[in-house]
Amino acid sequence: MAMQPTPDMSRLTVLLARQWWVLLLRGLAAIVFGVLAWMYPAMTVEVLIIMFGAYCLVDGVLGVITALVGRKRNSQWIWLLLWGLASIVIGAITFASPGVTALVLLMFIAAWAIVTGLTQLVTAIRLRKEVRGEWLLGLSGLASLIFGVLLIVIPGAGAIALLWLIAFYAVLFGILLVILSLRIRKFGQLEA
């Protein structure tokens, strides 16, 4: 049963509904990243750095676009902007430091996952009374947060184990965003 937009529905909900395809692209990018990491587990740290940096930049640019498109109609756009900017900053730092060690890369990934998780949790909480399926965004935020904390707590994990953990997280995160985008797409269709 699709929810009908109501006069008290936040502009953030309307913005996300109109830009559902951005969430879809972000989810698909995460899935592609995860699948590539699974397919090539013996890849070097340099390749992982490039893949992670590229993913963060794409994710961040799409997040910033979503925020900026709706900034005049939505007072909550700042959370989407922070999510996007965090991804861009981490992606840029990753590319600027190609000789980074696996441990520093791990901390970059952990910081990005924690910031992303927190912003997604805040967004999901703000949407909880307006959108069915907001729990998917909250769940993806919680997954990001747990993933980031685990990376900090268990930094000595082997490179292959770490790669598999990253791949699993990316695919799970991507699937949740794809499902959320398809659910929220209904709002965009109702607005049209």
What is the chain's pLDDT, residue by residue, as a tens digit (192 residues)? 444 555 545 677 777 777 788 889 989 988 998 888 888 766 655 677 787 888 889 889 988 988 898 788 777 788 889 989 999 998 888 888 766 656 777 788 889 889 989 988 988 888 777 777 777 888 888 988 988 888 888 776 545 667 777 788 889 989 988 998 888 887 666 655
Q: 43-78 as b/e, with b when 16 or more CB fall inside 10 Å?
A: beeeebbebbbebbbbbbbbbbebbebbbeebebbe
pTM tops 0.75, yes or no: no
Long-range contacts, 96-102 (Cβ 8 Å, 24+):
97/49, 98/46, 98/49, 100/45, 100/49, 101/45, 102/45, 102/159, 102/162
